[in-house]
Amino acid sequence: MKLNEICEVYSGYALKEFNEVEDGLPVIKIGNICIDGTLNLEACQYTNENVDKKYYSNRGDVYIALSGATTGKVGIMDINDTYIINQRVGIVRRKTDDIPQEYIKYFLLRQNDRIYKEAAGCAQPNISPKQIAEYIVPDISKDKMHERCTILNKIKNIIDSRNAEISALDNLIKARFVEMFGDCGNMVSMNDLCLIITDGTHQPPKFQETGIPFILVSNLSNNSVTYNTEKYISDETYNELYKRTPIEQGDLLLSTVGSYGHPAVVTENIKFLFQRHIAYLKPRRELVNSFYLHGALLAPDGQRQIEEKVKGIAQKTLNLSDIRKIMIPLPKLEEQNAFADFVKQVDKSKVAVQKALDETKLLFDSLMQKYFG
């Protein structure tokens, strides 16, 4: 059955006025839609505009990013509070409560790559609600829908638990960094610590089903590089694009758009390339240890500077010129190496958790494919 047989599908309201303070009703924009299918409702702007109530949030709604780098991201509204939905967000609203809201969410999550591909081809990716409304949803019994959602929810809970373990280990590293270097007064700019600060290719390359991985911002979400992707490029394309970003072990990547501020050290000798929403940092090895620099960017002061330098409202972006201005404490290299040794010990635990996480994600993805094609 078509999605529009069971849901209303339309875009949000073209708001003109926004308030930075808590005045009026909060607004859901594409930046509030998270990659894991949830909504970040803590970082909202507000509006006093008079808006038709069909653009008010309903519990059970599924929202989808219709444009920009995050096109295709899906979030579900699972609280009763009232929000206004902005125009670049697609509203997918059930026509009947018999359809599980999570069934719609999981269906649209499965369509993420399709949506992004259909939206690409312009300077700014963009897809219309009418296109999404025509998507074919598996027509199964309501009991079967609930059963599939129950299974997927259980696996998703395990994934969330594994991610929480990784987050706890990351917090341990952050605490150690502050303990060791919180009083360091020798501050040096990223521009002076790196030989290269640039970003990935600005022209979407020709993709193929196999080959060299082409990674996205989502591959840095745990502050490490993962290579699970559905986008691959040929050796010829790799050799052409690699000249601009000659990445090697010990270099760093940093997400700059959407889910920004996630650094990752390249630890494996694997050929890959990446999109322009990822910054490429090549450290001066004689000055700074790669794992120390990773820790400095993740430390509270590093993240504070990133937050202060991010620009944009609908789609927040960390510009290369601002990355160059980030100031990093620079202790003696021996102290940096001692911190890096501590990180490597913690990373041994992270590797075990990450392996379990990857296996669980593989199961989740295989079931999503089985259920939704």
Q: What is the pLDDT of residues 274-332, one digit of tens each?
A: 988 999 999 999 999 999 999 999 999 999 999 999 987 667 889 999 999 999 999 99
Instruction: Dihedral sign for Cα 77, 82, 85, 86, please.
Output: negative
Name the stretches of the chain with pLDDT < 50. none
Predicted local distance difference test score (pLDDT) of residue 229: 86
Return d(Cα 338, Cα 46) in angstroms, integer.
Answer: 47
Q: Is residue 11 within 8 Å of 134, Cβ to Cβ?
A: no
Return d(Cα 227, Cα 263) in angstroms, integer.
Answer: 15
Provide the token pair at 220: 């840095």
Burial class (CB in 10 A: 0-12, 13-18, 19+), 268: exposed
User: Is-above-0.75 flag for pTM?
Assistant: no
Predicted local distance difference test score (pLDDT) of residue 315: 75
DSSP state of 18: -
Q: Is residue 48 within 8 Å of 19, Cβ to Cβ?
A: yes
Q: Is residue 26 within 8 Å of 41, Cβ to Cβ?
A: yes
Return d(Cα 215, Cα 255) in angstroms, integer.
Answer: 11
Contacts of residue 87, defined as CB under 8 A and 6 or more positions apart, other chains included, come to 11, 12, 13, 14, 15
DSSP state of 317: B
Predicted local distance difference test score (pLDDT) of residue 120: 67
Return d(Cα 195, Cα 27) in angstroms, integer.
Answer: 41
